[in-house]
Amino acid sequence: MKVKIEKTVKILTPKIFESLNEINICEESIEEECLLNNALITKAKLRNKNGYKITVQSSVIKDSIFFEGNFEKIELCDVKFENCDFSNANFSRAVIHKTEFINCRLTGLNFTEGYYKNVSFENCKCDYLRMMFSNLKNVRFQNCILVNADLRQVDILDVFFSNCDLRSAELFKTKLKGIDMSTCNIEGVKANGEDIIGIIVDRFQLEHIAGIFEIIVK
């Protein structure tokens, strides 16, 4: 008899020094090729209207607003965001590694064509999040709202969803084999039959999966 061995994947957490430099940053202080390192930033309001390249390393950012900002090609490594608002901001083609988003609002955030490794989203509002054509490796969504999220053609490896609301999310051409969504609400999820082969669900979710194959469950 074969014994099933569960795959265990550790998502690396940000490495941040205990002593950080408190920085008061504003729109006018952002310069081209801006680097923020070992910084503690609170209650900032940034939009980066000029679209300057920004790199953030080993930093904590709290209670800050990035609403409708332009942060294309931003690079984040060892960063923790807490209670921040990224609604409708542009983070396309971002490179994000060992970063945590905790209690953040990501409604309508543009995360397309990005690279994400060892990234955690916890208690975040991610409705209408756009993540098409991105690469995700070792990424966790926990207690997140992903209603109407656009996750089409995402290359995923070791991605975890725990207690998430994925109602009406789009997952076309995203291979979900081995992805456990048994604790999530997947009502109205949009995908092709070939995309969900090997997905892990519980028996109460079968009705939603059957709809993708146009099967009627009585």
Query: What is the pLDDT confidence band of residue 211, given thresholds at 50, 70 and 90?
Result: low
**Residue % of the chain over a pLDDT of 90:** 74
Q: Give a yes or no: residue 59 inside a domain.
A: yes
Q: Give a yes or no: residue 93 inside a domain.
A: yes
Question: What would the mean pLDDT of 123-141 be, rounded to a whole number?
Answer: 97
Q: Give a yes or no: residue 192 inside a domain.
A: no
- Reported for 5-13, long-range contacts at CB under 8 A and 24+ positions apart, including other chains, are 7/158, 7/178, 9/138, 9/158, 9/160, 10/138, 11/118, 11/119, 11/120, 11/138, 11/139, 11/140, 12/98, 12/118, 12/138, 13/98, 13/100, 13/118, 13/120
**Residue % of the chain over a pLDDT of 70:** 92
pLDDT at 5: 42
Query: What is the pLDDT confidence band of residue 130, given thresholds at 50, 70 and 90?
Result: very high
- Render pLDDT for 76-129 as a digit per residue (tens, 0 to 9): 999 999 999 999 999 999 999 999 999 999 999 999 999 999 999 999 999 999
- Reported as type and span, the H/E element at residue 100 is strand 95-102
**Helix H segments across the chain?**
206-212
Number of domains comprising the chain: 1
| Candidate from 3-12, 27-36, 175-184 with smallest mean pLDDT | 3-12
Q: Give a yes or no: residue 196 inside a domain.
A: no
Q: Give a yes or no: residue 150 inside a domain.
A: yes
pTM for the full model? 0.90
Could you tell me the residue range of the domain that residue 97 belongs to?
21-167
Q: How many residues would you count in the chain?
A: 218
Q: Give a yes or no: residue 62 inside a domain.
A: yes
Q: Give a yes or no: residue 185 inside a domain.
A: no
Q: CATH number of the domain that 77 lies in?
A: 2.160.20.80
Q: Give a yes or no: residue 157 inside a domain.
A: yes
